[in-house]
Each structure stands twice: as C-alpha cells, then as structure tokens.
Amino acid sequence: MQRLLVAILAAVDAAIAAAVGLAVLLAPLTLLWTLAFGASADWGALWPVAGTLWQFGHGVPLDITIADEMVVVVGISPDAARFTLSLTPLAFLIFTLLFAARSGTRAARSGAWLLGVVAGSLIFALIATGVALTAHTAGAQSSFALGIVLPSAVYVVGALCGAVRYAWREGDGGLIDRLHDVVDRWGDWGVLPAEIARGTAAVVVALTGVAGLAVAVAVMLRGGEVVALFEAARVDATGVTVLTLGHLAYLPTLLVWAVAWLAGPGIAMGVGTAVSPAGTELGVVPGIPMLGLLPEATSIWMLIVVLLPVGAGAFAGWIVRSRLVWEDVARPFAPRLAITVGIALCSAGVAAVAAVLASGSIGPGRLAETGPHPGWMSLAIGIEVLVGASILLLAPRHRDELAEERTDRWVEEMGASPTTDAGGLPARSVADSGADGDPDANDTAPLDDHGFFGDGSTPTHR
C-alpha cells in the first residue's frame, strides 16, 4: 500500500509541475488576449499558443513562418520570413527541473525512489504528449517527437538527481546502499563521489551568484540603453507587459551568458560577432531591450574578471578540504588530486550543458548563432576551476593546523569545553599529564600524522 501511495503522490507531483508551468503561461496570455482582442478574440488559439510556448520553454525549437501579408506590411525580405527560433527561455526548464527534484527527494524519503521517479516521469510524459498533440499553431511549428522527449527528459533528470542525492546521503535499503557499500570499501578513495558532487555544486552556486551580481552591475551601468530600447519599440502597455514577462523568462539564460563572459570566451550575437572581456565586435543587433546590456567596447584589462571563476573553484576547494579534514581523509595526496580533477571536469560538463541550452537561433540569417560556444565555455570553466580548486585542495597542510582542527572536532563530538574535561577538571591536567603525573610529561611529545600525541591523547589549545 505504501508503494502505491508513493507512486500516486509522484504522479500528482508531475501533474502539478506541468499544470503550474502551463498556468503560468495561460494566465497572462488570457489577460493579454482579452485586452488586445476583446470580445472578438479567437479563444481557440489561446491553448495552442500556450502549449507551443511551454514546449519552447523546455528546449523544443520552433520553426517560425511569417505570413505573406505580414511580410508585405513590415517590408522584410521574403528570405527572412522563415527561420528557426531555438534560444530557450530557461526559466520554465529550471522550474520543471527543481520541481522534479523535489518530487524525487520525497519519493526517496518514502523508501521507494525508483518507483516514484518512474511514476512521475510517465505522467509528465503523458502530459507532454497531450500538449504535443493539441498545441499546433500556423506560425510556429515544433517537432512532435522533440515536444515529448525534451520536456520528459528534463523531468526525469530532475527527479533522478533529487532521489539519488537523498538516497546516497540517508540510504534507501536497496540499490544505492549497495553501491554506497562498494564505494566505502575503496578506503581513502571512497569520498570521491560525494566530494566531487559537493564541490561541483559549490562551483555552480558560486558562479550563479557572481553572474547575478554581474548582471546587476550591467543594469546599473547600461540601464539607460535598456530604457531607450523600450521607448524605441513604441509599444503600448500590453506590449510593455509582454516584453517584461519575456525578459523575466530569459533571465536564467542571461545569467549563463554572464558566466560565459566572466570565464573569457564570451558570447556571440550573430555570425562573426563576439562579446567578451578581451573585446567586443558587434554588427547590427536586434532592438530587444535586454540586449542593451551588451557592452559597446571593452578593454584588455577586463580579462581580470576570469579570476572570478578561479575564485569559485577555490571556494569549492575550501569547502571540500574542510570536509576532508573533518573526516580525517585529507592526508593522502592522490584522492585529493582526483577530487580536484573531478570537480573541474564536472563543472566543465555543467557549463557545456548550460551553454547548449543558452545558445541558439533568434532570427534569420546571421542571427542563427547566438549565445556562448559550448566547447570554449566548458574548456575555460574547467581550467579556471581546476586552478582555483588546486590552490585549496592540493596545498600541503601544517601539522599544527591539522592538530587544532582535530581538537575542535573532538571537543564538538564530546560536547566538552576546550578547557575542561567531562568531570569539570581543567583539560590541561588530563591532556598534559604523563603517566607519572608530571604535568609537563607530554609538552615535548611529537604529534603523529593524525594530530595526536604518541600516546593517543589529544592536544589542547594553549
């Protein structure tokens, strides 16, 4: 009965995730539909538009076809009337990913994570299939297969990550526990999976925070250009609302662009263009207000910003190194080297996936290439994180520092004061007294590799 309940709850989670994503699109579209068309609105077209945008938000490319009448009115070239739109607004994808991770965690907490992941993924795939079957618009066509596979893949990845993370940490009494036992038998190498994952998560969080700060600085410095582009669009209140909501949906995409710029490779805004700290080469840029944040020119001295990803790697190295010291596995050099390389490779992999999702086509012709290059971005992030993590993870530790941290851990585990033992006596009388009662018997005793005196006693603060 419990397993059935887990499957039902996972299915409900998947249905809610899809429903919320669609409702976030339907609610403002309904309001805008009413304001724009009034009583004469074609309500039958509302659902196909919302469903198509939902697919697009999960990475499904759209084949845009502009009607001949609109081509004549706007005065554009017939060759530009058909193009592919593939630059994804990542806000929808990230929402589904996080919601799926929450569902996977809850299934793992209930003791049937695999059943929960499978049940939730199947329901989400069924909903994606229904959207793909019913959401058809004349001006924006999407692939039927990709409309099912890509949204479902996003949900599966999120649910698996959430479930495996919880099961690895807390146990599941099954497959993950058996795998954990195998890894534990590796000895000093058994910490690799957990610490690589921890370090990679620290890098991702640090780079996201730095990118958000960079975007905020760009808004302060280039906010006038953004406002000017809003004014140049000459749209009414409804148009401004649509543009603002679109910008919010593309905010995560903009953060990935900021990371690519900070890492050095930068982004492209069309074929043959580049926006990076080393320099900016732009042609004609679409009048999208968000693109007003792009710098018009940069100095070679701006390359100093590549130290920020290096700092993210150092931050991850510090977190992992502290954890290794706490678990008393920081002494062997080879596992620390493997963890450092693993963090760099996984960070590069995450950067490559983010670059793929945050790049694509935004228009015809030269606008078919927009965003960061996955290969160059992943290479830069990998090298910079490797340098930063190496500084903290591979540096030799002083024996006194190790002894002090081991003492702090002993004090915390025993719940005792650093100056008194469990019986209320001064810690010096216990730790500094030899077998013969001489209080200075151990004052000159050397520390072993674990930070203890030769007789097994723990050094105290003096």
| Predicted confidence pLDDT, tens digits, the chain (462 residues) | 478 888 899 999 999 999 999 998 888 888 777 776 666 666 677 888 889 999 999 999 998 887 777 767 666 777 777 888 999 999 999 999 999 999 999 998 888 888 999 999 999 999 999 999 998 887 888 889 999 999 999 999 999 999 999 988 887 777 887 887 788 788 778 788 888 999 999 999 999 999 999 999 999 988 888 888 888 878 777 778 888 888 899 999 999 999 999 998 999 988 888 888 888 888 777 888 888 888 877 777 788 899 999 999 999 999 988 887 776 666 777 888 999 999 999 999 999 999 999 999 988 878 888 999 999 999 999 999 999 999 988 877 656 555 656 666 667 677 644 444 444 444 443 344 444 444 444 444 454 544 444 444 444 443
Q: Which pLDDT score, from 0 to 100, does residue 359 have?
A: 93
Return all residues near 260 (Cβ < 8 A) that are at least 6 apart.
Answer: 266, 267, 355, 358, 371, 372, 377
Range list of H helices, 135-191? 144-170, 175-184
Give the span between the Cα atoms of 172 and 184, in whole angstroms.
16
- Tokens representing 298 are 């940069």
Q: Which residues lie across from 82 on neighbouring strands? A: 65
pTM of the model: 0.82
Write down the residue that tokens 């012709």 correspond to.
365
pLDDT computed for residue 398 by the predictor? 57
119/129 Cα distance (integer angstroms): 15
**Residue 264 Rama label (left phi>0; alpha psi -120 to 50; beta):** left
Query: Percentages helix, strand, coil for the chain, rounded to the nearest 5?
Result: 70, 5, 25
State the first-to-last Cα distance of the chain, in angstroms, to the nearest integer.
60
For residue 228 the two structure tokens come to: 């000017």
The H or E element that residue 34 is part of is: helix 2-37
The 8 Å CB, 24+ separation contacts for 19-27 are: 20/95, 20/99, 21/54, 21/57, 21/92, 21/95, 21/96, 22/50, 22/51, 22/54, 22/131, 24/92, 24/95, 25/50, 25/53, 25/54, 25/57, 26/50
Q: CB–CB of 380/342 below 8 Å?
A: no
Question: Which pLDDT score, from 0 to 100, does residue 399 have?
Answer: 60
User: How many other C-beta atoms are found inside a 10 Å radius of the C-beta of residue 271?
Assistant: 12
